[in-house]
Amino acid sequence: MTFDWNRPYLDVVAMEHYEALDRKTAALYGKMVKAAMLSNVEYKIRHGKLHTTRRMKPPPSCGRIFPGYLVVRKLGTAEQYETWMPDHVFEELYALKYSEPPAADEA
């Protein structure tokens, strides 16, 4: 398997949809998010290049490499933003909803 050097720059449209598992998370950040697996170091690279063109939370410290997710919260609102979460935290809060956008009658 080869490393994809463009992975940190994945477009939001290409990310999968996830649904909040509890009401509190849904109320705070929206019921649906888009997310993709990305390490904390990859998120730091993404933030360095894209933070001037989109709303992004600052990256965590990078003393070590941790698996996690790039998460787009508050989808479709003026408050939409990107952040990074460790994989174990993300997987406690969200479940995969669908890989493709829903049909018009499902939205």
What residue numbers bound the domain in which 47 lies? 31-98
pLDDT tens digits for range 16-68: 999 999 999 999 999 999 999 999 999 999 999 999 999 999 998 888 999 99
Q: Is the pLDDT of residue 103 over 70?
A: no
Whether 22 is covered by a domain: the verdict is no
Whether 41 is covered by a domain: the verdict is yes
CA quadruple 47, 65, 83, 11: dihedral sign: positive
Whether 50 is covered by a domain: the verdict is yes
Q: Supply the DSSP symbol for 97.
A: E
Whether 56 is covered by a domain: the verdict is yes
Strand extents, DSSP E, 10-87: 16-20, 32-37, 68-73, 81-86
Whether 83 is covered by a domain: the verdict is yes
Please provide the size of the chain in residues. 107
Whether 63 is covered by a domain: the verdict is yes
How many domains, in total, are found in the chain?
1
Whether 20 is covered by a domain: the verdict is no
Report the DSSP beta bridge partners of residue 95: 19
Confidence bin at 100 (pLDDT 50/70/90): low
3-state DSSP assignment of residue 42: helix
pLDDT tens digits for range 3-15: 788 889 999 999 9
> Quick one: average pLDDT of 73-87?
97
Residue 27 has a pLDDT of: 97
